[in-house]
Amino acid sequence: MKFRTVVIFTGQVFQVPQCVQRIDHRATHGWQLRYGGTKLFSDHSNDGSGAAQALEQATRELLRRIATLPAPTRLQRRPSQNKSSNLPAGISGPVVRVRQGGKVRDCSLAVLIPRFGAPPTRRTIYIGTENTYTVERFEAALARAVAMRSAAELAYQRAETRARRAAALALKKARRESVQASA
């Protein structure tokens, strides 16, 4: 799990986990959890004396949410507004090209396959040549492309959730060991 150093208005320095933000605005002082919705953990003081306890509560709630909720994903679910076709996000085409040495153009759809922790890959789904292209073949290829993209998105979501949960378990273990060492 990623951490960053946060210095609050009193000068106190904290190591804050990803998904927890500091809010210091007029009469509001606390830590906001942003994972599976938002929740503010207030310092319950204007002088920042409750910041450590509020951060502890926010971190505990973050670990609970990571253990029970699927990880939020950054995959694009809807097509961009600038996309000129009606195809779903991650699918483009039909791509028309002439293979090297060929005389007949062929058509295919391009599918972007996201992979967690690795660059995405591209797959093509063949539709037909200019002689065999039909609306039915296009619709069948589109259905295969949508199924391929959906399966890849599901695998990405599962891998991201597993990675977050593993990081949360490592954080729990480290916190437990630091409590035992200080006792």
What element of type H or E holds 106? strand 105-115
Model pLDDT for residues 102-115, shown as the tens digit of each residue: 888 999 999 999 99
Q: How confident is the model at residue 135 (pLDDT cuts 50, 70, 90)?
A: very high
- 180 falls in which pLDDT band (50, 70, 90)? confident
Structure tokens at 183: 């006792």
Tell me the C-alpha distance between 159 and 47, whole Å. 42
H helices present in 30-87, as ranges: 51-68
